[in-house]
Structure 1
């Protein structure tokens, strides 16, 4: 948040120095400010300010892809004459640490058809997930860890 405010101040300073307060000039000043903050990132943070929107967009695209694929899988499972399901609950060891990251991961899992976040352990190191088909919980754990969890860490750390 501080970096955004600094970037806005740099854009306003750019407009003041150039003497033009047009939208194009403010946007150009904002872009120059973002570049300046990227170059001098050490005193003000990690430098993820510029790349964060792309990482968040990648997370959103992954979620949409998984949403469509899992909805398709659930629909195909339901219309089969013989449903060979093994529903169950498995423990997913969490790599994400903050409350925000855990909540986001749990919500993404719950919103994806076929899975439901049930509970988080008291030490916040394990997420319990119910799966419609829990015949291979290790593969599901790997999918969550290499998909949602990895993208959440890329976007918010």
Structure 2
């Protein structure tokens, strides 16, 4: 991982911002590139004060695999939730579960909670004061322990690999 510099305090964020800008603009013209580079440089500069302890990326390929997995899970969950909503309401078994966290870094916990909330049918509701338990609401809770283990295997363990600061 490159050391933080004053010019590019968050190089990965800058790269992602540039790529997202180019995709949103759907153009590779010189003006699009110039504005994209300016935004990719300026936004991290302006937000640097909000990152007192920035996370260090340990395994970027695991993060890429994680992102692809999350996108796939979002697509599948959308179909499952649509089927539940359109179908009989007798299949719905909503409930709250208390998810025991292994992650210790605030950024990684926030990313896990956001990932859970992005997946249709589940929402992160609260975190305990000691940052060891995440309260999750699920649209259907057939087996609480199975849901906990699924989240742990699919989301939390990859995040523990990705971020050096989250190693137990």
Give the TM-score of the pair, scaled to structure 1: 0.67
Q: Is the 8 A contact 1:59 1:155 kept in 2?
A: no
SS at match of 1:116: strand
Distance 1:82 1:93 in 2: 29
The answer on 1:94 being equivalent to 2:109 is: no
- Unpaired runs of 5+ in structure 1? 6-47
> Which residue of the partner structure matches residue 58 of structure 1?
65
What do residues 113-136 of structure 1 show as CA deviations (whole Å, max 9, x unaligned)?
000000000000000000001121
> Which residue of the partner structure matches residue 145 of structure 1?
152
Give the TM-score of the pair, scaled to structure 2: 0.63
SS at match of 1:92: strand
Give the alignment's Cα RMSD to 1 decimal: 2.1
Distance 2:63 2:3 in 1: 17
- Unpaired runs of 5+ in structure 2? 6-55
SS at match of 1:123: coil
Q: Find runs of 4+ consecutive structure 1 residues off by over 3 angstroms.
A: 1-5
Distance 1:52 1:142 in 2: 22
The answer on 1:103 being equivalent to 2:143 is: no
Q: Is the 8 A contact 1:77 1:83 kept in 2?
A: no
Distance 1:75 1:140 in 2: 19
Q: How many residues align?
A: 115
1:137 to partner: Cα distance: 1.1
